[in-house]
């Protein structure tokens, strides 16, 4: 609903109202954008592309055991800009719910979809995310501290890049000593599954094509 309000409430000139929109979402922001373009014709008619940056498309294993009260505490962090909302954030990110939503809500085919995946090496994980990184690592080591890499992929989207950055670093400026981005147009491979620290290994491109199907089935 907030995505719709944000788009429809902005004061625009007659010329600006005819311009196509590109929506970019991070984490649950991607979920909200996909919900908006599916639900509201007045939104999807203006949108030409959606870009997901470490989006929680397929949900997170952490949501199965997380408490909404923990998320509500973010509203008290200075300058966070977070609000308690409708208290449904955690429930909406459960993998089972996300899988069912994707299966029952085809994405509008008049919109182009793009994905940027966060996939950090262990030494690129923020200290505040290391515990979650290890916890999700019991399911799959290829995660950003909040999401497994294949759960960040919008089905049938164009994969733009992998970034050697964790979930928080994707939306918060952090010092960088090296290039954290792997351009998928040049590096047409995926990190291989394995023990922590093995992200430098790669497998063939077809794994990426499988990423969208991973969001549709149990692991």
Average pLDDT over all residues of the chain = 77
Residue 139, pLDDT above cutoff 90 = yes
Do 165 and 182 contact (CB within 8 A), yes or no?
no
| Res 168: pLDDT | 93
Percent of the chain with pLDDT over 70: 63
Q: How far apart are CA 167 and CA 143, in angstroms?
A: 9
Residue 57 pLDDT grade (very low, low, confident, very high; cuts 50, 70, 90): very high
| Res 91: pLDDT | 85
| Res 207: pLDDT | 38
Tokens (6 digits) for 17:
């109202």
| Res 203: pLDDT | 30
Residue 94 pLDDT grade (very low, low, confident, very high; cuts 50, 70, 90): very high
Q: Is 115 exposed, middle or buried (0-12, 13-18, 19+ CB in 10 A)?
A: buried
Residue whose token pair is 């491109």: 205
Nearest to 107 by CA among 43, 26, 171, 176: 43
Residue 210 pLDDT grade (very low, low, confident, very high; cuts 50, 70, 90): very low
Q: How far apart are CA 43 and CA 21, in angstroms?
A: 9
């Amino acid at each position: 609903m907030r995505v719709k309000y944000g788009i429809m409430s902005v004061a625009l000139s007659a010329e600006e109202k005819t311009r196509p929109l590109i929506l970019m979402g991070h984490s649950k922001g991607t979920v909200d954008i996909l919900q908006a373009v599916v639900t509201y014709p007045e939104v999807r008619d203006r949108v030409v592309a959606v870009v997901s940056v470490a989006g929680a498309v397929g949900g997170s294993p952490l949501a199965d055991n997380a408490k909404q009260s923990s998320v509500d505490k973010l509203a008290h962090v200075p300058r966070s800009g977070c609000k308690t909302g409708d208290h449904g954030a955690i429930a909406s990110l459960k993998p089972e719910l996300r899988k069912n939503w994707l299966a029952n809500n085809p994405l509008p085919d008049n919109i182009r979809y793009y994905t940027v995946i966060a996939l950090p090496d262990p030494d690129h994980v923020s200290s505040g995310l290391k515990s979650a990184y290890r916890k999700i690592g019991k399911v799959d080591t290829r995660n950003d501290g909040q999401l497994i890499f294949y759960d960040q992929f919008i089905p049938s989207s164009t994969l733009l890049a992998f970034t050697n950055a964790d979930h928080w670093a994707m939306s918060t400026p952090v010092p960088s000593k090296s290039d954290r981005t792997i351009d998928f147009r040049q590096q047409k491979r995926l990190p291989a599954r394995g023990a922590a620290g093995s992200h430098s290994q790669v497998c063939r491109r077809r794994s990426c094509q499988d990423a969208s199907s991973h969001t549709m089935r149990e692991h």
